[in-house]
């Protein structure tokens, strides 16, 4: 039953495969930036076991805070994004949107000798515990400016009083094939965040991996036939349901962190268990025949 044991090990690779779908380019840690005297605004404070950037506007008038400037970012793929976790308290004001903004500069070309600048924003207001902040950009949007960007400028605009906390930022990039379902999905419409997707993949992968190992062990020794066959069929049904849900997520243009784990888990379940279901039954039948032959030989 070597295939059955290998099948269970496959499940522990699911979270790793899901996490490897995006390429981490750089992490921007506020504490390190402060030590290098490259911190433009705010102060670095400890919170929830890490160092975060605290930005506070104590006035009722608009203020803009420069957060980070990235010169010649090492981006090679068509879609890139800036990820972060933010928390904000009593953010108010009527002088404009409350937002984190990323300005993307591209180099000059013959038709635009001055180059080109694009902007992406993440808007928020009120009070919220830690939530995902995503600023994504598809280089196809730049048209002729398909070369890598030369500069990224990230700033925070607060039209009135309020306090914002930012965890370290991550610059990641994606293949173009992932862009249609990744870029431009508002946080309010996402089924879950990338961080939650990692937790789901890790926990679900471990649990189902244990079930796979249990199936392999019990089938190998010929015990609990009804339980093993029923559990195998239930997991195959679960895999089909996950695949259908993953397809629905793609149709609804959910981000990569939503549809990819669903489809991956569904395909692995259906293929691994579906292919081995017949061999599991055959294993139990062979052991039953051996047992009966042994009883006949003993009786004779």
Stretch (H or E) spanning 147:
none
d(CA 255, CA 238): 22
Task: Give me 202's structure tokens.
Answer: 């890790």
Is the model's pLDDT at 97 over the cut of 50? Answer: yes
Structural contact between residues 190 and 122, judged by C-beta atoms closer than 8 angstroms: no
Residue 114, C-beta contacts closer than 8 angstroms, at least 6 positions apart: 108
The pLDDT confidence band at residue 179, using thresholds 50, 70 and 90, is very low
Domain boundaries, the chain: 2-17+195-299, 30-167
pLDDT of residue 19: 42
Q: What percent of the chain has pLDDT over 90?
A: 15
Tell me which architecture the domain covering 30-167 has in CATH: Sandwich (2.60)
pLDDT of residue 61: 81
Q: 29-46: per-residue pLDDT in tens?
A: 999 999 988 888 889 999
pLDDT of residue 9: 43
Q: 192-251: per-residue pLDDT in tens?
A: 665 566 677 777 778 877 888 888 888 878 888 888 888 888 888 998 999 999 888 888
């Amino acid at each position: 039953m070597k295939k059955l044991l290998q099948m269970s090990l496959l499940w522990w690779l699911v979270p790793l495969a899901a996490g490897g779908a995006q390429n981490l380019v750089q992490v921007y840690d506020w504490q390190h930036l402060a030590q290098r005297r490259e911190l433009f605004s705010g102060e670095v404070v400890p919170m929830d076991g890490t160092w975060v950037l605290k930005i506070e506007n104590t006035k009722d008038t608009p203020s803009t805070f420069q957060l980070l400037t990235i010169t010649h970012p090492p981006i090679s793929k068509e879609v890139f994004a800036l990820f972060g976790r933010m928390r904000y308290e009593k953010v108010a004001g009527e002088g404009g949107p409350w937002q984190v903004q990323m300005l993307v500069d591209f180099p000059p070309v013959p038709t635009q000798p001055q180059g080109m600048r694009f902007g992406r924003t993440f808007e928020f207001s009120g009070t919220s515990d830690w939530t995902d902040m995503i600023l994504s950009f598809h280089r196809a949007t730049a048209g002729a400016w398909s070369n890598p960007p030369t500069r990224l400028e990230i700033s925070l605009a607060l039209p009135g009083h309020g306090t914002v906390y930012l965890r370290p930022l991550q610059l990641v990039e994606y293949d173009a094939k992932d862009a249609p379902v990744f870029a431009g999905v508002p946080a309010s419409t996402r089924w879950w965040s990338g961080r939650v997707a990692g937790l789901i993949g890790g926990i679900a992968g471990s649990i189902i991996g244990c079930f796979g190992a249990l199936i392999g062990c019990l089938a190998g020794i010929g015990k609990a036939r009804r339980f093993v066959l029923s559990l195998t069929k239930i997991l195959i049904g679960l895999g089909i349901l996950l695949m259908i849900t993953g397809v629905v997520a793609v149709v609804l243009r959910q981000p990569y962190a939503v549809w990819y784990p669903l489809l991956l888990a569904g395909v692995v379940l259906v293929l691994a268990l579906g292919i081995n279901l017949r061999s599991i039954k055959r294993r139990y039948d062979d052991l039953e025949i051996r047992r009966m032959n042994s009883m006949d030989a003993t009786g004779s």
